[in-house]
Amino acid sequence: MSAAINMDTFQIGLSAWIIQDGNYGDFSVGQEATFALEFYPRSLSLAQPGTPRLDSIGPARYSILGRVDFVASKAWVVDFGLRASQEAACPPGILPQSWVQGEVYLGIDPFYYFERLHDLPGMPALSYKWVIRNIRLETTPWITTEKTSVRDESKTSFKDVQKTDAWDDDEGCAHYILECERLDWC
In what helix (H) or strand (E) does residue 17 lie, and over which residues does it extend? Answer: helix 16-20
75: left (phi over 0), alpha (psi -120 to 50) or beta: beta
Question: Which one, of 161, 135, 160, 139, lies nearest residue 151 by Cα?
Answer: 139
At 5 the pLDDT is: 38
pLDDT digits (tens, 9 = 90+) for 82-117: 999 999 999 999 999 999 999 999 999 999 898 888
pLDDT digits (tens, 9 = 90+) for 2-32: 333 336 899 999 999 999 999 899 999 999 9
Give the integer Cα–Cα distance in Å for 105 and 184. Answer: 21
Whether the full predicted model's pTM is greater than 0.75, yes or no, is yes
